[in-house]
Structure 1
Amino acid sequence: MTALRPEREDSYGEQPYASHGGAPHAGRGAGRHAGRRGDPPTAPMPAITDRQPGAQPPADDETMALRVADLRSGGPLSEPQRASVASSAAPATGGAPGGRAARRKAAKRRGGRHGGTREEPPAPPAEPGRPLSRVEARRQERLRRPGPAVVASRAIGEVFITTGVLMLLFVTYQLWWTNVRAHAQAGKETHQLQDDWASGKRSPGVFEPGQGFAILHIPKLDVVAPIAEGVSNKKVLDKGMVGHYGEGSLKTAMPDARTGNFGLAAHRNTHGEPFRYINRLTPGDAVVVETQDDYFVYKVTSTLPVTPPSNTSVLDPIPKDSGFTEPGRYITLTTCTPEFTSKYRLIVWGKMVQERPRSKGKPDALIE
C-alpha cells in the first residue's frame, strides 16, 4: 500500500541526506534494522558527510521513493529531481496539467458531473418469459399499431390489386376460355349435323333461330364451323357458330336459291373466332357451304376492308361496292374490324362456281 511505503522504507537503515551537509543520524536506521526479527544482520551503512552538486541517486524504485519523500520535506532540489517529482505527481491529478480549471474543462469534455447531460443507456431487452409491465405492453402495442396513412395506403393497394386480378381474369376469360367453350360447342354441333344427315333426321326447309342447317369450310384458313339460323350473339355467335342473316329486314337468300346473296356473320375475336383471319382471303380462294344434300363452292372475288356497321347494302341481292353488276348466286362474309373492337365491319364477297351433290363426294376444293 502506498500509505505504508515511507514507514517501511525507513527500516532499511539508509540515512537521509542532511539539509546543509551535516552529519547523518546513524543510530536511527541501525536500531530499527537490528530490532526486526528474521532479518540477517547487516553492517551499518557508511555515513554520507558530503554530497556533490548534481549527484543522482541510484535508479532504484524503493530508494527513489525514500528520497522523493525526504526532498519534499524541505531539502533543495536539482533540475532532474524536480522533473521526477512532477512526473510522479501528475497521475495524482488525473493527467490534466494546468490546475483545477484545466481539470474542470477536461471533466466537462468527458461529460462528468458538471459537464452537461449524459446519454441514458438503452433499456435492456425484456428477458424471455418475463411478463411485460403495463407501460411496456402499451408502448409495444402502439408500435405495432399502423397509422392512418399506412391503413389508407394498404386499402388503396388492395383495391388496385383486386381490380388488376379481376381484369386479368376477365381478359383470360374472353381471350381463352370463351374460345375453348365455343370450339367445344361448335364441334359438337358439327358432329350432330353430320350424324343427323347420315340418319336422315333432318331435311331442307325453314329453320328455327339458332338451329344449325349447314357447315362452312374455308380450306385456306382451316375453318370448319356450323351455320345456324340468325345472328343472335347468345343463341348463335357466342357458341362459335356462323350466323345466317335470315330474319327481318336483313334476311338473305339460302345457298340453294337460284339467285340471291347468302349473307353470313361470325366473331373475329373470342367465342371461337371463326372469321379471325378472313382478311387474308384473296380473289380465287375457295369458300364451301355443305348442306344435307349438296356442296356449294364459292370463289372469293373482292373485299371491303372497312365499312360502318350501318352499311347494310353489302347484303343486297346485288351488293354495293362488290363489283357485281347483275343478279347472281353470291356469298357475303361479315365480321368486326379492327381486331378486338366492333367499331367497323370487314366484308368479303364471293361468287358461286360449283354446286355438287353430296352423293358424288367432296368437291376438289375440300380435297386439295
Structure 2
Amino acid sequence: MPVVLQTRGRRRAGGRVLWACAETFVTCGVLVLLLVVHQLWWTNQQARAEAREQVSVLEREWGEWGISPSGGGEAGGGGDAGSGDAASDVTVESGEPPVVSGESAAPSSGPSSSPAPPAPDSRAFAILRIPRLGLTVPVARGVSKRSVLDKGYVGHYPGTAGPGLPGNFALAGHRNTHGEPFRYVNRLREGDRITVRTRERTFTYRVDQVLPQTAPRDVGVIQAVPRSLVKPSYGYSRPGSYLTLTTCTPEFSSTYRLVVWAKLVS
C-alpha cells in the first residue's frame, strides 16, 4: 500500500509540472503574437497617422503662403502633384536604407555639389507622391530611424542634392512596419511619375531604372551621378537631376537593398 501512494504522488507531481510547462508555452506564444501584432499592425497605424498629419500641416502652411496644391505660387509652377491616401499606403529591419550605420546614416563618400534645402532636423520639408502606388508621404531631413523613418516619413540622405537640383535627391524609407511607405516600390516601372512638392513648387520625375538587389553598403547608388559599385551595369555616367528611392529587400529582411532611380522632367 505505501508503494501505491508513492506512485500516485509522483504522477500528480509530474502532471503539475507538465501543466506548468504548458501554461508557460501558451503565455510565451501569446506574448510573441502580441509583439507581432504591434510590429506589423500597430506601428503602421501610428506612423501612418503621424505622416498624414504632417502632410496636412505642410499643406496648410504652404496654403498660408499662397502656394497652390499644384506647386505654383510666386516661385513658379510644377507638375501635377498627384493623389493618394497615406492611410492606405504609408515603407526592418526590412526598411533600413543602404549605408546605414547606427541611428543615422550619411554616405561615406562626402556631399554632392548641391546642398540640401534648409530645414530643422527631422522636420518634414517636402511631400513625395507616387500615383502608381497611391502614396503620399512627408519627406524629412536625415535617415535616423527613431526621428524620421519610424515616424512613417521618408528620409533625405544628408549630403545629397535637394529636390529639383542638379545631383541626386536620395531618399530612404521603411518597406515593412512603421508606416512602410516603400513597401511596394518594387512595382514601379520605367515611365512612372513621381512628384516632390516643396514650399516653392512641385518637381516631377519619371522612373528610369530599377536595381532589384544590391549590397547594403553600395554607396554608389546615392552618389551625385548614381551608379552601383556592386552591379556597375546599373546607374548613370553623366551628371543630371536624379531622384533615388532606397529600401530593403526582400520583404521582412534587411539582407539587400532595392533601388529605384528617376530623372527630373519638370
Structure 1 length-normalised TM: 0.54
Report 1:1-368 matches (<5 A).
Answer: 147-200=12-65, 205-246=117-158, 251-257=159-165, 259-321=166-228, 322-354=234-266
| 1:134-174: CA deviation from partner (whole Å, max 9, x where unpaired) | xxxxxxxx989972211211121111101100110011111
| Structure 2 CA distance for aligned equivalents of residues 344 and 285 of structure 1 | 23
SS of 2:194's partner is strand
User: Over aligned residues, Cα RMSD in angstroms?
Assistant: 2.5
Moved over 3 A (4+): 142-146, 200-205
Superposed displacement of residue 323, structure 1: 3.5
Q: Which has the larger Rg? A: 1
Question: Which residue of the partner structure matches residue 109 of structure 2?
Answer: none
Give aligned-pair identity as a percent.
Answer: 48
Query: How many Å apart are 1:199 and its aligned residue?
Result: 1.9
Task: Read off the aligned partner of 1:244 and give its amino acid letter.
Answer: H
Q: Which amino acid aligns with 1:261?
A: N
More helix by share: 1
Query: Which residue does 2:113 correspond to in 1?
Result: none
Indicate conservation of the 8 Å contact 2:221/2:235, yes or no.
no
Q: Is the 8 A contact 2:46 2:178 kept in 1?
A: yes
Larger proportion of strand: 2
Greater relative contact order (CA < 8 Å, ≥ 6 in sequence):
2
C-alpha distance 265-201 of structure 1, shift in aligned 2 (>3 A)? farther
Structure-2-length-normalised TM-score: 0.74
Q: Distance in 2 between matches of 1:221 and 1:236?
A: 21
Q: Deviations over 1:185-211 (max 9, x none)?
A: 000000001111122399994112211
1:217-271, CA deviations, whole angstroms, 9 ceiling, x for partnerless residues? 000000000001111111011111100002xxxx2010132x1000000011111
Q: Distance in 2 between matches of 1:189 and 1:177?
A: 19
Alpha-carbon distance in 1 for matches of 2:58, 2:194: 19
Residue-pair matches, total: 210
